[in-house]
């Protein structure tokens, strides 16, 4: 699996799963654009990558803004000359309060949908012309196992992650003729500061017992599938979802 020399944008690369994807991409020789609303987080990720002597650029972006996503793509092109892959990983997840479906704040509903769904669409739109000009590309959308299990407590988040799968399928049909593959990765419950902000530390052990592989899931478990979908080894795979959860959802 080679991503050596490829330019990969990772949104939400400033911490958690996104940061680990950036680090693993850099270890495999990619040029990484770390795009995050939190520029300090993005810069800190870049510092980590520089210890791998990896070419890296930190870009501040709110993925819900058309202008800012366009600027992100332009900065990536200016930094490295082309855009080979986009990982739509940024999400409104940290700090969501678990509640019944009829208690969700409508403004919070809109914000979750805006970041998690519209954000992925806007970023895909922003990189499209560069990928088309470059003869192809890869878009990897980070969904969630919650889209399959219907986890109770945050219906807006679950709905947004299911919408990401619909977006993946729709874009795969439309962008195939340009040599652009669009796929999704659906992680299971993964230990990050965001998941710990919503659930207590005990959930990780509970989830481990529901898996075929009975251990906690870490960001490192997810990066391999994402980077496979960014590589030439997946050139005939599009519109698909890889579930990375140690064997909870089996299909």
Ligand X SMILES: NC(=O)c1ccc[n+]([C@@H]2O[C@H](COP(=O)([O-])OP(=O)(O)OC[C@H]3O[C@@H](n4cnc5c(N)ncnc54)[C@H](O)[C@@H]3O)[C@@H](O)[C@H]2O)c1
Query: Is 92 a known active-site residue?
Result: no
b/e burial code for range 86-112 (CB count within 10 A of at least 16 → b): bbbbbbbbeebeeeeeeebeeebbeeb
What are the residues whose beta carbons fall under 8 Å from the beta carbon of 168, sequence distance 6 or more? 141, 143, 182, 183, 184, 239, 241
Q: Which CB sits closer to ligand X, 141 or 238?
A: 141
Q: Quote the CA–CA distance of 152 and 145 in Å, as a whole number.
A: 12
Among positions 56, 91, 112, 117, the unique one binding ligand X when judged by CB under 6 A: 91
Among positions 10, 18, 58, 75, the unique one binding ligand X when judged by CB under 6 A: 18
Q: Which CB sits closer to ligand X, 10 or 30?
A: 10
Among positions 37, 86, 112, 165, the unique one binding ligand X when judged by CB under 6 A: 37
Among positions 16, 55, 134, 246, the unique one binding ligand X when judged by CB under 6 A: 16
Q: Quote the CA–CA distance of 54 and 120 in Å, as a whole number.
A: 26
Among positions 7, 192, 231, 241, the unique one binding ligand X when judged by CB under 6 A: 192
Residues binding ligand X: number (CB under 6 A): 32
Rule CB under 6 A: say whether 30 interacts with ligand X.
no
- Which is catalytic among the residues 92, 93, 130, 157? 157
**CA-based nearest residue to 33, from 153, 148, 144, 127:** 127
10-11-13-19 Cα dihedral, nearest 10 degrees? -50
Chain residues that interact with ligand X, rule: CB under 6 A = 11-12, 14-18, 36-38, 41, 61-64, 89-94, 115, 119, 142, 144, 187, 189-190, 192-195
Residues assigned a catalytic role: 157
């Amino acid at each position: 699996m080679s991503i050596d020399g490829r330019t990969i944008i990772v949104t939400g690369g400033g911490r958690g799963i996104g940061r680990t994807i950036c680090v693993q991409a850099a270890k495999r020789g990619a040029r990484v654009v770390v795009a995050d609303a939190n520029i300090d987080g993005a810069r800190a990720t870049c510092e980590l990558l520089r210890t791998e002597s990896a070419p890296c650029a930190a870009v501040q972006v709110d993925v819900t803004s058309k202008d800012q996503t366009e600027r992100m793509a332009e900065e990536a092109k200016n930094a490295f000359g082309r855009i080979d892959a986009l990982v739509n990983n940024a999400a409104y997840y940290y700090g969501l309060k678990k509640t019944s479906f009829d208690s969700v704040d409508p403004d919070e509903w809109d914000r979750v949908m805006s970041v998690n769904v519209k954000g992925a669409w806007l970023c895909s739109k922003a990189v499209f012309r560069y990928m088309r000009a470059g003869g192809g590309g890869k878009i990897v959308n980070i969904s969630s196992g919650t889209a399959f299990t219907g986890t109770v407590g945050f219906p807006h988040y679950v709905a947004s992650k299911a919408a990401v799968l619909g977006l993946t399928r729709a874009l795969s049909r439309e962008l195939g003729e340009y040599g652009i593959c669009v796929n999704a990765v659906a992680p299971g419950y993964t230990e990050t500061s965001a998941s710990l902000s919503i659930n207590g530390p005990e959930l990780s052990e509970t989830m481990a017992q529901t898996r075929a592989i009975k251990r906690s899931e870490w960001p490192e478990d997810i990066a391999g599938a994402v980077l496979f979908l960014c590589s030439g080894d997946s050139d005939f795979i599009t519109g698909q979802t890889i579930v990375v959860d140690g064997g909870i959802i089996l299909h």
